[in-house]
Structure 1
């Protein structure tokens, strides 16, 4: 895959979950600008249509498709994976969608805590189901990590659990789970001799308020979430727009210099902002014992198993 989204190596098909707002939208737009075919995998068809209009205001001839995907419903995940298989070759899947910071505990359609169930478990099942499509192209999975993984550990009694519920802690736990899964998947794919790669990337501290629109369409796409009041003063010194935050995600999805098992993010102070580069993750995100515990719990909860031996 090309390190420049617009390089003449030829267009790729990249699936972006949660592509109708925030980082997902910015990533989809940048990929379209680079000439890539983008599949918008979203749960709201109206917002997907608005995102498509916005992208086309910047790239009139953009190659866009839509797949309905609700990661908080494992039945929807299965249906979406089957639908994706009808759209032709897939070269990369960016697992971007997520929910964050619910004050009250909420549940997925199958009864799992919403943030862990959406951000990790839904993507775990989705990845397992679409992996054969990536095997056909030697493609890659990109997982959206977060600097918040630095401050938490998984619930020691239940890897998918919330324990005494705290919304912000559970969001961070869900992101640690995403990263444990992404790095462990890279190891297991390599062990199985698969050509598929697994990469983790993060946007730093990316804010809607600092985002610069590439064209007239971007403002029509709503913010993905509210931003804390404390970030207002001096925000440009510690944060960047979601357009800049999407750059590591785009590069992780189509860059030729990206290798399986890497972690891409901003190169600045505390990885909050800057240019895309390989960055370090905390050792806890590479803990294979925890990853195995999480993997087993995720297979049991989702009913999706990874036939990695068959991919080699």
Structure 2
């Protein structure tokens, strides 16, 4: 099987089925391609079937023997989340779920199908419900769930009385708050799974400052150039934030490099529940994948408990952790 340069292919007994949400563009696409190149079976969980098909074609142009599946998942619609979990159960064993999909920096306040603010409703609440619904599949395999965090969690807090709310709306602040919520959930889930004696592990990972414009383009032979066989791959996540300038590009890395900590968190043999994986370089903006520190606020169990209760109430999904041991 093909593999990323310097990364060994998975042996048959180490081959995993990994579900990647938001796998048709950006970090999710890069992670899906890297997982396929390492020999894993990849399920692309996306909301746009046409983009999923394009992603599959692009991955197969680089990894001809890739094993790929697709599940329709719209994290901004909890009905779709439930349907996707049912569809996933029909595909057989699942060993890891990489919760990557998300909305970034919407300038105007928008809402999910259920009326929640779109960024926290998609990035956190949709994945909260999705994780609760697919947890039995991971329990059966002693699997792993990976939550996509962000360095932006360092600069925000949640409203104690309304952790899912937006208050006075600012798109990029709300994105950061959604990522803090993701991390609080990921670390709290690790604690609760351990307390319940569950075999499932919960890990948080982040890509550093990763930009589409810096992503290396490769041919099927691994040489720089167009993606796949002369056709650009669906790797763009739809543009970069307005604040990204020459200085930020100088200290950033491509989304292909940014996906490496996510992939390692999903299938690495040295990964442990409750860890936080990200780039080990300056300010965690770029560099090789390693266990890195998160801000103490991401480990605040009181804040996590309030968020958990609000999320169960808003999603209608309760985690029966006492039945997972």
Q: Structure 2 length as normaliser, TM-score?
A: 0.93
Distance 2:31 2:270 in 1: 18
Q: 2:112 aligns with which of 104, 108, 111?
A: 108
CA shift for structure 1 position 213: 2.2
Pick from 110, 115, 122 the counterpart of residue 118 of structure 1: 122
Structure 1: 4+ residue segments shifted above 3 A? 228-232, 234-237
| Counterpart for residue 95 of structure 1 | 99
What is the RMSD of the two structures over their aligned residues, measured on CA atoms? 1.2
Choose the corresponding residue for 2:132, options 123, 128, 135: 128
Query: What does the per-residue CA deviation read over 1:127-156, in whole Å, with 9 as the maximum and x for residues that have no partner?
Result: 000000000000000000000000000023
Per-residue CA deviation, residues 172-230 of structure 1 (Å, 9 max, x unaligned), is 00000000000000000000000100000000000001001233337331511322455
CA distance in 2, matches of 1:282, 1:143: 16
Match of 2:314 in 1: 301
Conservation of the 8 A alpha-carbon contact between 2:30 and 2:235: no
For residue 180 of structure 1, the aligned residue among 181, 184, 187 is: 184
Whether 1:202 aligns to 2:206 is yes
Matched, 1:251 2:264: yes
TM value normalised by structure 1? 0.97
Q: CA deviation at 1:73?
A: 0.1
Distance 2:259 2:175 in 1: 20
Counterparts of 2:246 and 2:273 in 1: how far apart (Å)? 38
Structure 2 equivalent of residue 291 of structure 1:
304
Structure 2: how far apart are the matches of 1:23 and 1:214?
Answer: 16
Pair 184,46 (structure 1): closer, same or farther in 2 beyond 3 Å? same
Q: Deviations over 1:112-136 (max 9, x none)?
A: 0000000000000000000000000
The verdict on how the C-alpha distance between 1:108 and 1:230 changes in structure 2, with shifts beyond 3 A counting, is closer
Separation of aligned partners in 2, 1:248 and 1:5: 16
Q: Which runs of 5 or more structure 2 residues have no equivalent in the other structure?
A: 1-6, 220-226
How far apart, in 2, do the equivalents of 1:100 and 1:236 lie? 18
Q: Out of 28, 31, 39, which is 1:27 matched to?
A: 31
Aligned residues: 309
Instruction: State the alpha-carbon separation in 1 of the partners of residues 216 and 129 from structure 2.
Output: 34
CA contact (8 A) 1:17 1:41 kept: yes
Residue of structure 2 equivalent to 1:6: 9
Distance across 2 between alignment mates of 1:230 and 1:128: 35
> Is the CA contact 1:5–1:36 (under 8 Å) kept in the aligned structure 2?
no
